[in-house]
């Protein structure tokens, strides 16, 4: 991307953020990518989730809700630290004695790095809502596999002036564990379902083949392979910029990666495949406000009806 294009995109992000802050939709917390949310913003997220829940009810997914932290040992069995080290969040805490505490306070008072006195805990910040599911799913699935409804705050350390790129945000996911055919069928269905739901609330998204932001030179090869195999789709729409639309939902096919890692087996003894749809709830709310305006009372009647506003 040229310098001029980058500057233009940066200006678009700043202007979008200014509008959202001035309207009181977002509240600054003095760190790029970290915000508090207004009552209307939270109501929009709640009503959108209710819409998703109503439409998904017929599928009888089992509901699981995980916290925004997960077991460090389980995290390290995955490849997140190899592929996305720049996004991880490790939870550290003070575990020392009085002498160590005094050293910590002394370092802080001198403006030095007091965090050297902290130690890693047993937990990591959860980077995707589905990650804590797989360690709990070890064993053999029934013939029909599993369909799980998840929702969680997740953390990714990527501070940005783009208001849609938050460091901590909510994902609503529907995950399928089963055979390759079951996983691919799940992804195909939820691509259509996700697109239909977003169109219902006045968001004309575009379906695009995508890749994850793998780290480093080797990551570029992995990203190319992911795109070549069409493992990931995103549903995108202009939020801050029409030149660089924002992904507000994605559908991923993991093949048997998590089945192999956590010994999740199909009924016939093969490693289970998995696929998921993830709705980015804050991004969807931002897209709704930037598309329809900052006063929900003036949103199109069809959108208000869909959201029961």
Scanning the structure block, which residue is given the tokens 């200014």? 18
For residue 21, count CB atoms less than 10 angstroms from its CB and return exposed for 0-12, middle for 13-18, buried for 19 or more: middle
Tell me the two tokens of residue 267: 């009924």
For residue 2, the model assigns a pLDDT of 40
Per-residue pLDDT of the chain (309 residues; tens, 9 = 90+): 443 466 689 999 999 999 999 999 999 999 999 999 999 999 999 999 999 999 999 999 999 999 999 999 999 999 999 999 999 999 999 999 999 999 999 999 999 999 999 999 999 999 999 999 999 999 999 999 999 999 999 999 999 999 999 999 999 999 999 999 999 999 999 999 999 999 999 999 999 999 999 998 888 889 999 999 999 999 999 999 999 999 999 999 999 999 999 999 999 999 999 999 999 999 999 999 999 999 999 999 999 999 999
DSSP label of 241 = -
Contact (Cβ atoms closer than 8 angstroms) between residue 252 and residue 231: yes
Helices marked H in the chain:
3-22, 39-56, 72-77, 80-83, 98-109, 133-136, 180-200, 216-228, 257-261, 281-292, 301-307
- Residue 232's Cα: distance from chain center in Å? 14
Task: Sketch the domain layout of the chain as residue ranges.
Answer: 3-89+127-307, 91-122
For the chain, the C-alpha Rg in angstroms (whole number) is: 21
Chosen CATH of 3-89+127-307 out of 3.40.640.10, 3.30.465.10, 3.30.930.10, 3.50.50.60: 3.30.930.10
Non-local (6+) Cβ contacts of 193 within 8 A are: 55, 277
* Cα 153 to Cα 67: distance, rounded to the nearest angstrom: 7
3-state secondary structure of 35: strand
Tens digit of each residue's pLDDT (9 = 90 or more) over 163-215: 999 999 999 999 999 999 999 999 999 999 999 999 999 999 999 999 999 99
Q: What are phi and psi of 269, to 5 degrees?
A: 90, 5
Name the strands in the sheet holding 69-71, side by side, starting at the edge strand that comes first in the sequence.
Answer: 69-71, 118-125, 90-94
């Amino acid at each position: 991307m040229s310098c001029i294009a980058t500057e233009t995109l940066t200006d678009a992000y700043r202007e979008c953020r200014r509008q959202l802050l001035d309207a009181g939709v977002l509240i600054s917390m003095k760190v790029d990518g970290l915000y508090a949310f207004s009552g209307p913003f939270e109501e929009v997220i709640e009503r959108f989730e209710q819409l998703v829940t109503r439409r998904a009810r017929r599928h009888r997914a089992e509901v699981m809700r995980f916290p925004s932290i997960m077991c460090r040992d389980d995290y390290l069995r995955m490849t997140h630290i190899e592929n996305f080290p720049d996004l991880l969040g490790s939870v550290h805490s003070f575990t020392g004695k009085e002498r160590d505490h005094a050293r910590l306070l002394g370092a802080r008072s001198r403006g030095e790095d007091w965090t050297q006195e902290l130690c890693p805990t047993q937990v990591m910040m959860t980077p995707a809502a589905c990650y804590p599911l797989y360690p709990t799913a070890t064993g053999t699935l029934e013939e029909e596999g599993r369909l799980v409804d998840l929702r969680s705050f997740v953390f990714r350390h990527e501070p940005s002036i783009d208001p849609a790129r938050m460091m901590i945000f909510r994902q609503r996911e529907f995950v399928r564990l089963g055979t390759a055919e079951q996983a691919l069928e799940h992804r195909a269905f939820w691509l259509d379902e996700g697109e239909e739901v977003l169109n219902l609330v006045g968001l004309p998204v575009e379906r695009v083949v995508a890749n994850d932001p793998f780290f480093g030179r080797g990551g570029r090869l992995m990203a190319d392979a992911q795109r070549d195999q069409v493992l990931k789709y995103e549903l995108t729409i202009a939020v801050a910029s029409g030149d660089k639309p924002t992904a507000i939902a994605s559908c991923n096919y993991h093949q048997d990666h998590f089945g192999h890692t956590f010994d999740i087996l199909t009924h016939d003894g093969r490693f289970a495949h998995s696929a998921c749809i993830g709705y980015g709830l804050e991004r969807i709310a931002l897209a709704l406000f930037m598309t329809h305006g900052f006063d929900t009372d003036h949103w199109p009647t069809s959108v208000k009806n869909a959201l029961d506003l």
